[in-house]
Amino acid sequence: MGRTAVAPVVIRKAPSPPSCRRGRGSPPAQYTLTPLGRGLHEIVMQLIGWVCDHHDEIRANRYRAGTSSAR
């Protein structure tokens, strides 16, 4: 299942109201979570917290494996 198949189930996209549009080109869009997406919020926040807690270790391992530059 690709990103395009999952995204509409988790995220809803709607055009911005005319008062929010600026300049030329495509009007900006507003994104909201669907009820299913809101159910994932806590899980995603926990994952983000885990990544933050282990960032240095992840970066060091990626560097040793040659999959990332040291930044």
* pLDDT(26) > 80: no
Classify residue 24: in a domain, yes or no: yes
Classify residue 70: in a domain, yes or no: no
5: confidence class by pLDDT, cuts 50, 70, 90: low
* Structural domain containing residue 26: 3-65
Classify residue 41: in a domain, yes or no: yes
Tally the domains of the chain. Answer: 1
Classify residue 25: in a domain, yes or no: yes
Q: Is the dihedral of CA 62, 65, 68, 71 positive or negative?
A: positive
pTM, entire model: 0.53
Nearest 5°: CA angle at 38, between 36 and 42? 120
Classify residue 28: in a domain, yes or no: yes
Concatenating the DSSP letter of every residue in the chain gives --HHHHHHHHEEEEEPPGGG--SSSSPPEEEEE-HHHHHHHHHHHHHHHHHHHTHHHHHHHHHHHTSS---
